């Protein structure tokens, strides 16, 4: 973003400066960092911030996509095209063993499925590559346990988070010292809100997956829920499958991410829609509602 | 007919979508015009901090319906649970760690740090307060000021938070009594004076019912001041609290190819333009800024806290941990200083212990050579101490293995703050604020305090200053001869000249190097305050490459 003529920086410039500072600290203090790339809007913003942080040098770490095997086809296509265009190094990791066993959310339930295809796969990937720091795009405004997390979030040698015993984190002096096999998860977007992310995408014209934009799509209509038809094991009852003008508010796995009815087919229209929203962005995610504090449990185990 | 009606539907949709776009653009424009205020809560456990934040978010329509539903039982909303996000917190009904919440009103955007009240979790409170512009201190109207209120107010003051809003809470439980409010308001004002908190404003509230939180209360007609939110929306922002000149601690050297060498970092204070003369520290070499490079193109000006890359006119060796600073008021190069420390480790801090010390982008080995005192929170007095235990606050002397480039915390948060890291378990063991920079090697002209200090007829003060300056290693000349070119020349050689006279003239200090060589009146009268100020203004770290000819020309 170019500086405005006034003396005061906008809140977008403040957030950008803070995130860039975080990226540079990590790249300078760790031997082998990686950026988790989930293909969603927050990842797109992170990627732009990483480009800015190291300009005119290239991004000095690879991207890691943990592919559960159930991501939307449009996401994978976007991922491959955009990362190739930027010339960044992309690592894709899948829990092939679990997938070969036929792991899916309907068979295993969402909790076990996430545990195997997301958390397990992530921990395996981090261990296999000896990554000592991993950037994630999580924001504190997303969910209550995320609101508690440090920007530099310490993980023990099993990749676990101990929310009751976090390192103090004062000013912007981040403590990146770790022992063997320990690691740090880093959240450069900690202080961004959902609106800030969209605002930045708008100002910076950042490319995002088309699934965020409304258009008529084949959906299973079940009560209020719109369930995307992508996987053969997601079967509708007669009459459930319809064309609906809709979009996705956050991108996850197709069987577990509901769409919302919407006419918003541009970023400003999405922002307008967001301003009128009464429910949080994760309200359409099945996984957060498994039980009280389910996000915290997943996070303790190593999920982002 | 059919075609006509389809046409008109399409037009209606276009219209709606144009309106949506216009609304969004208007809103974004407004967002960009808003300030960002960071505030934190403080106060003892159960005073109602989390409830207050929940109420603030709810009444200002900043909570999503699904989040409200999740904390509603029997048609009553548990406001504290809107922020207490950990399972252990909900089970125990307490706050363990700081929760960050984000909300905005038409006037401002806010980042809240809701902090825990238990003494055991003081370090988490300090975490939340360290980045705050404003602290809301809660007091339970039935209990008044407790030790923990004092401890938190003390930490807020030490962290340099300029504005404290005191919410006297649970007014519903004391019949909305003005007398109760007035009593605790007086106590708090006294506390603020003792802690040198510049501004404290008290508001009577009932967090649980929302009185004076967002909306003004009907139940306390004797109070006609603003609600808490109105205050948060209007208190002045300390956007640039720093008095220091331009500083950029080097985070990383960018060298994408043979032709480009830039220094990346976040500006911690001041502004910079291409062409500005700067000092590269610690070498002390002078050069000029060639460009301010960013992904968005080169900039004509950059200011704190932007993250940029600077290229310089001359090839200068700078790496992570070094600093680029304004020539006029550079930070001090030090290995020996006093700091106020908030201790956060279960193993107490004892003299002689060594740690990693992180300061800006530099990590060095450090030894705590002395514990000067510990603050007893009950009376907020300094007492001698052998150690600092978990959650203690005290004054210590720190020595580092390599020099750091520092300012006093009160002049610049970013270059005056540090953390101590335990070398065995790698946890953050303490947070420090630099109070006094004390190393001066005798005869070290590179680092000398230079200048002219006019003392007037204060003979006692002159004597005290002469003693402490000599002890600190400065070269001091005390004289009754009025300012003259000869005295200026002596100062240029690396001395501090104390000039006495028979008149009660104001105390002034004239630096003899750097851009600012006009006499400055010092608004202090205590010897150690003058001592600090003189050292700050009169010490310019220089190095072997320095092109100064010793006469300041
Ligand atoms: N009657 C009354 N109770 C309150 C008020 N504010 C908070 N409480 C209660 O005080 C208790 C502690 O509140 P909490 O927000 O968790 O305090 P914290 O420890 O400071 O975060 C809870 O039971 C609240 O319901 C108030 O204004 N009036
Ligand atoms: Mg609380």
Query: Would you say B293 and B262 are in contact if contact means Cβ atoms under 8 Å apart?
Result: yes
Chain length of chain B: 553
The CA distances from residue A42 to A139, A195, B240, B272, B545, in Å, are: 9, 11, 29, 31, 47
Mutate to test the interface with B, among A51, A163, A168, A214 (most CBs of B within 10 A): A168
Determine, for residues B98 and A148 on separate chains, whether the beta-carbon distance falls below 8 Å. yes
Determine, for residues B306 and A147 on separate chains, whether the beta-carbon distance falls below 8 Å. no
What is the set of domains in chain A, with CATH numbers?
11-200+292-301 (3.40.50.620), 209-289 (no CATH)
pTM of the predicted model as reported, rounded to 2 decimal places = 0.84
Distance B49 CA to ligand 1 centre (A): 7
Ligand 1 site: residues with CB under 6 angstroms? B 43, 45-51, 80, 94-95, 117, 169-170, 172-173, 206-208
In angstroms, what separates the C-alpha of A229 from chain B's closest C-alpha? Answer: 26
The CA distances from residue B490 to B284, B466, B493, in Å, are: 22, 16, 5
**What pLDDT is stored for residue B93 in this prediction?**
75
Torsion of the alpha carbons at B332, B337, B340 and B343, rounded to the nearest 10: 120
Q: Residue A290: is its pLDDT beyond 50?
A: no
**Overall average pLDDT of the A17-34 stretch:** 98
Task: Please tell me the residue having the least CA distance from ligand 1 atom 1.
Answer: B170
Q: Where are the domains of chain B?
A: 36-238, 247-326, 332-442, 445-538
Residue B38 near chain A (CB below 8 Å):
no
Residues in A closer than 8 angstroms to B123, CB to CB, are 168
Give burial (CB, 10 Å; 0-12/13-18/19+) of B335.
Answer: middle
Contacts (Cβ under 8 Å, ≥6 apart) of B540:
B330, B450, B511, B513, B514
C-alpha count within 13 angstroms, C-beta hemisphere, residue B138? 27
pLDDT tens by residue, chain B, 553 residues: 444 455 555 576 777 778 889 888 988 898 888 989 999 999 898 999 999 999 999 998 888 888 888 888 878 888 888 877 777 777 787 778 888 999 999 999 999 998 888 888 888 999 999 999 999 999 999 999 999 999 999 999 999 999 999 999 999 999 999 999 999 999 999 999 999 999 999 999 999 999 999 999 999 999 999 999 999 999 988 655 556 689 999 999 999 999 999 999 999 999 999 999 999 999 889 999 999 999 999 999 999 999 999 999 999 999 999 999 998 878 989 999 999 999 999 999 999 999 999 999 999 999 999 999 999 887 888 899 999 999 999 999 999 999 999 999 988 899 999 999 999 999 999 999 999 988 754 333 444 567 899 999 988 888 888 887 776 667 889 999 988 888 888 887 778 899 999 988 889 988 876 545 678 888 777 777 787 777 667 665 433 333 332 232 2
Least confident span in A133-137, A149-153, A275-279, B371-375: A275-279
**What pLDDT is stored for residue B4 in this prediction?**
47
**What pLDDT is stored for residue B442 in this prediction?**
33
Q: Which two tokens stand for residue A131?
A: 């990554």
What's domain B36-238's superfamily in CATH? P-loop containing nucleotide triphosphate hydrolases (3.40.50.300)
Residues in B closer than 8 angstroms to A179, CB to CB, are 426
Distance B79 CA to ligand 1 centre (A): 9
Residue B216 near chain A (CB below 8 Å):
no
Query: Would you say B195 and B233 are in contact if contact means Cβ atoms under 8 Å apart?
Result: no
Determine, for residues B124 and A170 on separate chains, whether the beta-carbon distance falls below 8 Å. no
Contacts (Cβ under 8 Å, ≥6 apart) of B248:
B263, B265, B266, B267, B268, B272, B308, B310, B323, B324, B325
**What pLDDT is stored for residue B472 in this prediction?**
63
DSSP state of A243: E
Ligand 1: nearest atom to the Cα of B41: 20
CB count within 10 Å of CB B233 equals: 17
Q: What are A61-115's pLDDT values in tens digits?
A: 999 999 998 888 999 999 999 999 999 999 999 999 989 988 888 888 888 888 8
Determine, for residues A24 and B264 on separate chains, whether the beta-carbon distance falls below 8 Å. yes
* Architecture per CATH, B445-538: 3-Layer(aba) Sandwich (3.40)
Determine, for residues B16 and A263 on separate chains, whether the beta-carbon distance falls below 8 Å. yes
- Which residues 277-306 on chain B approach chain A with CB closer than 8 angstroms? 293-297, 299, 301-303, 305-306
Task: Please tell me the residue having the least CA distance from ligand 1 atom 12.
Answer: B46
Using most ligand atoms within 8 A of CB, pick from B48, B50, B118 the residue to mutate for ligand 1: B48
Q: Residue A253: is its pLDDT beyond 50?
A: yes
**What pLDDT is stored for residue B553 in this prediction?**
25
Q: What whole-number distance in Å separates Cα of residue A228 and Cα of residue A126?
A: 30
Per the prediction, chain A carries an average pLDDT of 88
What's domain B332-442's superfamily in CATH? Translation factors (2.40.30.10)
Mutate to test the interface with B, among A21, A170, A172, A286 (most CBs of B within 10 A): A170
The C-alpha angle with vertex A63 and arms to A101 and B257, in degrees rounded to 5, equals: 155
Nearest CA in chain A to B297: A2
Nearest CA in chain B to A52: B295
Determine, for residues A175 and B123 on separate chains, whether the beta-carbon distance falls below 8 Å. no
Q: What whole-number distance in Å separates Cα of residue A229 and Cα of residue A254?
A: 8
Nearest CA in chain A to B252: A28
Nearest ligand atom owner, CA of B55: 1
**Overall average pLDDT of the A28-46 stretch:** 96
Distance B218 CA to ligand 2 centre (A): 26
**What pLDDT is stored for residue B539 in this prediction?**
60
**What pLDDT is stored for residue B513 in this prediction?**
63
Residue A289's pLDDT band (cuts 50, 70, 90):
very low
| ipTM score for this prediction | 0.90
Determine, for residues A179 and B426 on separate chains, whether the beta-carbon distance falls below 8 Å. yes
The CA distances from residue B65 to A138, B86, B372, B533, in Å, are: 21, 20, 53, 55
- Which residues 481-520 on chain B approach chain A with CB closer than 8 angstroms? none
**Overall average pLDDT of the A270-291 stretch:** 67
**What pLDDT is stored for residue B90 in this prediction?**
76
Asked, colleague to colleague, whether B36-238 and B332-442 share their fold, the answer is: no
Residues in A closer than 8 angstroms to B265, CB to CB, are 24
Determine, for residues A177 and B123 on separate chains, whether the beta-carbon distance falls below 8 Å. no
Ligand 1: nearest atom to the Cα of B43: 20
Distance B469 CA to ligand 2 centre (A): 48
**What pLDDT is stored for residue A294 in this prediction?**
66
The CA distances from residue B405 to A174, B70, B92, B354, in Å, are: 18, 50, 45, 20
Determine, for residues A293 and B87 on separate chains, whether the beta-carbon distance falls below 8 Å. yes
Helix (H) or strand (E) holding A139: none
**What pLDDT is stored for residue A4 in this prediction?**
42
Determine, for residues B87 and A296 on separate chains, whether the beta-carbon distance falls below 8 Å. yes
Residue B118 near chain A (CB below 8 Å):
no
Distance B260 CA to ligand 2 centre (A): 51
Residue B23 near chain A (CB below 8 Å):
yes
Q: Which of A263, A261, A255, A260 is nearest to A229 (CA)?
A: A255
Q: Which of A154, A297, A53, A263 is nearest to B20 (CA)?
A: A263
Nearest ligand atom owner, CA of B209: 1
Helix (H) or strand (E) holding B430: strand B428-437
Query: Would you say B178 and B152 are in contact if contact means Cβ atoms under 8 Å apart?
Result: no
Task: Please tell me the residue having the least CA distance from ligand 1 atom 2.
Answer: B170
Q: Residue A173: is its pLDDT beyond 90?
A: yes
Residue B106 near chain A (CB below 8 Å):
no
Distance B48 CA to ligand 1 centre (A): 4
Determine, for residues A170 and B428 on separate chains, whether the beta-carbon distance falls below 8 Å. yes
Ligand 1: nearest atom to the Cα of B206: 27
Nearest CA in chain B to A49: B295
Q: Residue A235: is its pLDDT beyond 80?
A: no
In angstroms, what separates the C-alpha of A112 from chain B's closest C-alpha? Answer: 20
Determine, for residues A293 and B86 on separate chains, whether the beta-carbon distance falls below 8 Å. yes
Determine, for residues A175 and B428 on separate chains, whether the beta-carbon distance falls below 8 Å. yes
CATH of domain B247-326: 2.40.30.10
- Quote the strand ranges of A82-214, DSSP E: 90-93, 133-135, 152-155, 183-186
Residues in B closer than 8 angstroms to A292, CB to CB, are 87, 90
Q: Which of B375, B414, B443 is nearest to B157 (CA)?
A: B375
CB count within 10 Å of CB B389 equals: 14
In angstroms, what separates the C-alpha of B426 from chain A's closest C-alpha? Answer: 6
Query: What are the phi and psi torsion angles at B141 (to 5°)?
Result: -60, -15
| Among B25, B256, B419, beta carbon nearest to A170 | B419
In angstroms, what separates the C-alpha of B65 from chain A's closest C-alpha? Answer: 5
């Amino acid at each position: 973003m170019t500086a405005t003529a006034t003396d005061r920086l906008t809140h977008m410039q403040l957030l950008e400066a803070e995130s860039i500072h975080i990226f540079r600290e990590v790249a300078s203090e760790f031997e082998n960092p990686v950026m988790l790339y989930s293909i969603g809007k927050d990842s797109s913003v992170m990627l732009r911030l990483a480009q800015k942080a190291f300009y005119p040098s290239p991004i000095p770490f690879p991207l890691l996509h943990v592919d559960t095997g159930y991501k939307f086809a449009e996401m994978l296509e976007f991922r491959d095209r955009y990362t190739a265009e930027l010339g960044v190094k992309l690592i894709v990791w899948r829990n092939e063993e679990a997938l070969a066993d036929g792991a899916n959310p309907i068979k295993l339930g969402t909790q076990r499925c996430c545990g195997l295809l997301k958390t397990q796969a992530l921990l395996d990937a981090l261990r296999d590559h000896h990554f000592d720091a991993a950037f994630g795009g999580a924001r504190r405004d997303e969910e209550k346990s995320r609101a508690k997390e440090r920007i530099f979030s310490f993980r023990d040698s099993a990749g676990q988070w101990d929310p009751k015993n976090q390192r103090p984190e004062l000013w912007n002096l981040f403590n990146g010292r770790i022992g063997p096999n320990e690691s740090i998860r880093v959240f450069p977007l900690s202080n961004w809100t959902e609106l800030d992310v969209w605002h930045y995408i708008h100002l910076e014209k950042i490319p995002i997956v088309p699934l965020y934009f409304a258009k008529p799509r084949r959906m299973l209509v079940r009560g209020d829920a719109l369930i995307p038809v992508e996987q053969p094991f997601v079967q509708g009852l007669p009459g459930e499958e319809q064309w609906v003008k809709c979009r996705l508010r956050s991108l996850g796995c197709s069987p577990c991410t509901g769409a919302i009815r919407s006419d918003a087919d541009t970023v400003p229209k999405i922002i307008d829609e967001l301003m009128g929203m009464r429910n949080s962005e994760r309200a359409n995610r099945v996984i957060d509602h498994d039980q009280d504090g389910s996000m915290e449990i997943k996070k303790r185990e190593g999920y982002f | 007919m059919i075609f006509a009606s389809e046409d008109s539907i399409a037009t209606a949709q276009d219209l709606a979508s144009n309106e949506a776009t216009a609304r969004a653009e208007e809103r974004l424009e407004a967002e960009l015009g808003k300030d960002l205020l960071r505030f934190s809560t403080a106060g003892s456990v159960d005073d109602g901090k989390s409830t207050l934040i929940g109420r603030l978010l709810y009444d200002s329509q900043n909570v999503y319906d699904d989040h409200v539903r999740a904390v509603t039982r029997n048609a009553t909303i548990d406001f504290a649970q809107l922020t207490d996000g950990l399972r252990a917190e909900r089970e125990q009904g307490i706050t363990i760690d700081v929760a960050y919440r984000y909300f905005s009103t038409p006037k401002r955007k806010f980042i809240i740090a809701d902090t825990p009240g238990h003494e055991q979790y003081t370090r988490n409170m300090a975490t939340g307060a360290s980045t705050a512009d404003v602290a809301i201190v809660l007091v339970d109207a039935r209990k008044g000021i407790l030790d923990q209120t004092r401890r938190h107010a003390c930490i807020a003051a030490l962290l340099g938070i300029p504005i404290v809003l005191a919410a006297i809470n649970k007014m519903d439980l004391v019949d909305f009594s003005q007398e109760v409010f007035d009593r605790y308001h007086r106590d708090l004002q006294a506390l603020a004076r003792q802690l040198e908190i510049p501004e404290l404003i008290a508001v009577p509230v009932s967090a649980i019912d929302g009185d004076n939180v967002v909306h003004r209360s009907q139940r306390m007609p004797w109070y006609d001041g603003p609600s808490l939110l109105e205050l948060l929306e209007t208190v002045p922002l300390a956007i640039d609290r720093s008095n220091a000149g331009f500083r950029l601690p080097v985070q990383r050297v960018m060298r994408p190819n043979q032709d480009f060498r830039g220094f990346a970092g976040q500006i911690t204070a001041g502004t910079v333009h291409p062409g500005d003369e700067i000092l590269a520290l610690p070498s002390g070499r002078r050069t000029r800024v060639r460009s301010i490079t960013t992904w968005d193109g080169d900039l004509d000006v950059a200011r704190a806290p932007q993250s940029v890359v600077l290229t310089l006119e001359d090839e200068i060796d700078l790496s992570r941990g070094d600093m680029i600073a304004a020539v006029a008021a550079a930070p001090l190069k030090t290995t020996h200083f006093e700091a106020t420390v908030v201790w956060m480790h279960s193993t107490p801090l004892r003299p002689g212990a060594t740690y990693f010390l992180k300061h800006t982008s530099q990590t060095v080995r450090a030894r705590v050579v002395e514990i000067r005192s510990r603050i007893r929170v009950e009376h907020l007095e300094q007492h001698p101490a052998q150690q600092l235990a978990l959650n203690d606050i005290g004054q210590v002397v720190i020595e580092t293995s390599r020099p750091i480039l520092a300012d006093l915390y009160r002049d610049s948060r970013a270059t005056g703050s540090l953390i101590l890291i335990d070398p065995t378990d790698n946890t953050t063991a303490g947070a420090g604020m630099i109070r006094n920079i004390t190393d001066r090697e005798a005869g070290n002209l590179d680092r000398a305090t230079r200048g002219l200090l006019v003392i007037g007829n204060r003979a006692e003060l002159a004597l005290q200053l002469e003693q402490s300056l000599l002890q600190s290693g400065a070269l001091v000349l005390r004289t009754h001869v009025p300012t003259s070119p000869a005295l200026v020349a002596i100062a240029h050689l690396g001395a501090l000249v104390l000039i006495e006279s028979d008149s009660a003239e104001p105390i002034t200090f004239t630096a003899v190097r750097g851009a600012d060589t006009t006499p400055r009146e010092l608004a202090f009268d205590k010897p150690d305050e003058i001592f600090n100020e003189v050292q700050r203004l009169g010490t310019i770290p220089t190095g072997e490459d320095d092109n100064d000819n010793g006469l300041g020309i």
